[in-house]
Amino acid sequence: MHTTTLPRIAFLGIGLMGRPMATRLLQAGYPLTAWNRTQSKATELATFGASVAATSAEAVREADIVITMLEAGPVVAAVVAASIQNLQIGTLLIDMSSTRQSEAQDLHAMLAARGVACLDAPVSGGVLGAEAGNLAIMAGGSAADFARAEAVLQAMGRPVLVGPAGCGQLAKLCNQLIVGGTLSIVAEALLLAQAGGADPAAVRAALRGGFAESRILEVHGQRMLDRNFMPGGQVKSQAKDMDNVLAAAAAAGLHLPMAELVTAHYHGILDTLPHADQSAALLALERLNPGKRVGNGVDRLPD
């Protein structure tokens, strides 16, 4: 397939995740215009063939598909509002940010009134997954819009349509609930092993392959043992997602006691360690247990 037959993409948000995601699209041959609030981050993609726009409105003017990868729902709403007059009728906007389910539904409605199609399609897999092009992509919207977007999404990972508008965000919140809860439990297991006299690294190795095996135990368990809290994901993102889990639960009439505990856990370190990796759940736990610590290494933390 020639590049000229591929849809033109505007990618808004060239951050920690947006940059490798946009790079995958460029490597797949998609013509892409990049925009970021800090323009230098977008300019870095010019090496891979991207055009760079000075404003979001300029970026979307000739796009067939617009992808947003931004910090939170209010930021998405503000960027889309600033660009909406330049969106052509029939354009498809794919919001891959992590937002509240209600915010995604509001976005769908706002764009539909303009004649613009929409998918909410948040991702899981972190920076490594984005770089490898194997993100889990959870899409909410119509089957027709998903079919239109599927090839583009496949350049970045494994897309699955999980339901109508807002359900992509709901699926992502289910993912983040499992991630946040498992991170906290892995931290407790390693600290218990250490405090009880076992070698936590050996305990982790012994658990691998059993029913306790998980990507969290594999990846973040090792990060905890190494005391490497340099960000892949970030505490502030996990805390935001947990807040959104509780909002979705309230909207569904549910009480989720474990989610409430995990949310409080992350808020306990949000003020002091917002940019640390989510595996800093271990640090939150150690603060609750003065004098108890996993290993003897020096903490690696972002500035």
DSSP letter assigned to residue 3 = G
Distance set, CA 154 to CA 35, 86, 133, 295 (Å): 22, 27, 8, 41
DSSP letter assigned to residue 44 = G
Contact predicate 52/43, CB 8 Å: yes
- Cα separation, 15 vs 291, whole angstroms: 37
Q: Token digits for 165?
A: 């508008």
Q: Which position among 41, 172, 236, 240 bears the catalytic label? A: 172
DSSP letter assigned to residue 286 = H
- Cα separation, 202 vs 199, whole angstroms: 5
Q: Token digits for 102?
A: 């209600």
DSSP letter assigned to residue 105 = H
Closest CA to 45 of 29, 33, 61, 30: 33
Query: 128-131: long-range contacts (C-beta < 8 A, 24 or more apart)?
Result: 128/232, 129/157, 130/17, 130/20, 130/21, 130/24, 130/156, 130/157, 131/20, 131/23
Q: Does residue 172 have an active-site annotation?
A: yes
- Cα separation, 70 vs 15, whole angstroms: 8
Spatial neighbors of 263 by CB under 8 A, at least 6 apart, are 180, 239, 242, 243, 245, 246
How many CB atoms sit inside 10 A of residue 243's CB?
Answer: 15
Q: Token digits for 37?
A: 């609030």
> Which residue numbers are catalytic?
172
